[in-house]
A and B are shown apart, each in its own frame.
Chain A
Amino acid sequence: MNPIYLDNNATTRVDPAVVQAMLPFFTEHFGNASSIHAFGSEVGKALKTARSQVQALLGAEHDSEIIFTSCGTESDSTAILSALKAQPDRNTVITTNVEHPAILTLCEWLEKEGYIVHKLKVDKKGRLDMDEYKSLLNDRVAVVSAMWANNETGTIFPVVEMAELAAAKGIMFHTDAVQAVGKIPIDLKNTKIDMLSLSGHKLHAPKGIGVLYLRRGCRFRPLLRGGHQERGRRAGTENSASIVGLGKACELAMLHMEAENTTVRRLRDKLEQGILSQITHCFPTGDVANRLPNTSNIAFEYIEGEAILLLLNKLGIAASSGSACTSGSLEPSHVMRAMGIPYTAAHGTIRFSLSVYNTEAEVDRVIAAVPPIIAQLRKLSPYWTEVGGKSGPAANPEAAFAPTYA
């Protein structure tokens, strides 16, 4: 049986056309773009093309606003550290408590270094309180960093509006858009967003390539200093094959944008409805009315996510979970906790994330596969009872099973 890949928010398959575009840059076009000779100039031209392909997908005004980096994390770190370094009179960062670790871990470290970090809270659907946000915008804030779309739930933040509010107070705005780019239309030239991070491997380009969009005129200090690559804003010999691949992937993403928001959305909705209609005591998490078209995150109560994933994996189905066990930490996903999802459900969250490469037949197979797995694990759960052919959570589950803390 062919495996079914529904973990596209983790990473994606490199499109075969992207691989084809890249291959010559390992062999005949191996030159260094900085060189004067023909080997180098071929590469230089290809980088220029790739830059304009990225520019088109982001709707950036100038191609010089595109800085190639090694990954989304590097772009995030560069953006925030640059904002602090370039504005030494400002010591505060505003972010949200559902950001990716690329932002949150950096912010924890900044706090240790003496900076002030405000993390905006979310409600039970993962939405921000814009009044709280507005109240924090003052002249000590160096930068606001809010993700465009959440990696776990797909919930979309109003970053365009947030950037305008920040700009009105003269505050820089950065967005981690690694999950949004390629899935929803973006037109940066008509926004006040100053910086944006994207990651190639989330949109069918290879791993190890990212972009920092930097609006022309935005004060900047490089993270890596050295050669003159990327106009001195990111030193280091260009990863030319991957840059070419990313350019091609951006071109394809433009072509697939329509399908992403029609076909993929329909398949995601079918999958979610197919599961919710067959299984009791489960619910979708996040802001279901305002999320990425490819993401569905479902909490299955009274069972644990890693166990679900292992049983799905046995059937060749790949997804991911917000349980503590899958990450090796002691707490379930910070995103689920931020939304106030109870522990009995947070550990049982499963994220299905589709791409244009998924098919209707695959979705049908998953809809059929999930219910028996959930039933099998609930049978093992001390929070679940099966009496006289009738099954459901133990009456008052928290009281029926109140283990000694260990």
Chain B
Amino acid sequence: MWEYSDKVREHFFNPRNSGPLEEANGIGDVGSIQCGDALRLMLKVEPETEIIQDAHFQTFGCGSAIASSSALTEMIKGMTLDEALKVSNQDIADFLDGLPPEKMHCSVMGREALQAAIANYRGEEWSDDHEEGALICKCFAIDAVMIEDVVKANNLNTVEQVTFYTKAGGGCAACHEGIEEILAKVKAERAGPGEVSPPPAHLPNSAATPEAPKPPATKLSLVQKVKKVEEILDAVRPTLQRDGGDVELADIQGKKIYVHLKGACSGCMMEAATLGGIQQKMIEALGELVQVLPSSHMPVEV
């Protein structure tokens, strides 16, 4: 169960200003039913002074969504619209003595409902510029969309750099696998392969200095790629043959290179190590992240 502050609990159990507001002249509907949070904020604004005389909410959501909605209506009553627009999601969270990191989006939703309701009152179009992703770094509440955007915008290549730019991963470090996956995904999407290097096993404790992003290398054609792969296999073949084995290219499917391990190599306990060694050479020579797999792993047509 979440650790909710007493104030969150109190606002959830006794929500203020809930239900429809008949005389509302500014209404903001935000949220996403997929994510299980949706909020309608209703404002009654005095036209002369633009003072919010009353505010009500209706919320489909969890305890902290209801508490954030309730808190928001209490905070903005008596404010002018310009004052209300200065209320940040952090202000809402602070009013409630904090929210768990997984629940900060509830306060974001409150702030967005407020912007939407004021836009509605003023007859303006309001569009949401905030996309939400799965929470990756729980220490600093950084989600996947944010990390991906920053990685793309700054051409980042390592977990250290991501931490430097976003703070994500700078706390308990449990999310480093998740960050590495985002880095790999963005790398795979890049037009040309960028600098590819597996992250170091241990990251230094000192604050990282981001390296200058490497210029993208030219992309190899499929024929060039096959040629390179064959060259590498030729280079390792003598070593394998000394142990009574051999290797042969089976297929290349995207980033997966399938090989037949033959003779003594087939079924050898060192198979994984052999493939790992070949993979390392391939990555270095091709300048992109590839996976070398035994041909038995090739997908079958069903």
Contact = CB atoms under 8 A, between A and B. Distances in A.
Contacts of B291: 114
Interface in A122-151: 135-136, 138, 140
Interface string A302-341: 1111110011011000000001111011111000000000
A380 B19 contact: yes
Nearest to B184: A112
Given A324-B35, A347-B36, A380-B66, A114 B293 contact: yes
A330 to B, nearest CB: 5
B242 interface: no
A404 B128 contact: yes
Contacts of A357: none
Given A88-B296, A402-B29, A403-B32, A383 B112 contact: no
B150 to A, nearest CB: 19
Given A380-B66, A383-B60, A403-B29, A328 B34 contact: no
B205 interface: no
A406 interface: yes
A332 B35 CA distance: 7
Given A328-B102, A328-B135, A381-B58, A89 B35 contact: no
Contacts of B130: 406
Contacts of A12: none
Contacts of B298: 91
B282 to A, nearest CB: 15
Contact of B38 (A136, A325, A401): A401
Interface stretch (B10-18, B79-87, B165-173, B225-233): B10-18
A343 B18 contact: no
How many chain A residues sit at the interface, stated as a range, is: 35 or more
A326 B15 CA distance: 20
Given A114-B291, A138-B300, A325 B36 contact: yes
A310 B58 CA distance: 18
A302 B126 CA distance: 26
A369 to B, nearest CB: 15
Contact of B12 (A310, A326, A383): A310
Contact of A324 (B31, B36, B39, B116): B36
Would you call the interface of chain A mostly helix, strand, loop, or mixed?
A: loop
Interface in A219-265: none
A382 B62 CA distance: 14
Contact of A91 (B15, B134, B297): B297
A310 B13 CA distance: 9
A310 B109 CA distance: 21
A330 B131 CA distance: 12
A138 B134 CA distance: 36
A264 B57 CA distance: 42
Nearest to A306: B62
A115 B293 CA distance: 10
A379 interface: yes
Contacts of B35: 324, 330-331
A344 interface: yes
A403 B63 CA distance: 19
B61 interface: yes
21 contacts: A88-B267, A114-B297, A302-B60, A304-B36, A304-B61, A304-B62, A325-B37, A330-B34, A330-B132, A330-B134, A380-B57, A380-B59, A381-B59, A382-B29, A382-B60, A401-B40, A403-B29, A405-B128, A406-B109, A406-B112, A406-B128
Interface of A: 88-92, 114-116, 118, 135-136, 138, 140, 302-307, 310-311, 313-314, 323-326, 328-332, 343-344, 347, 379-383, 401-406
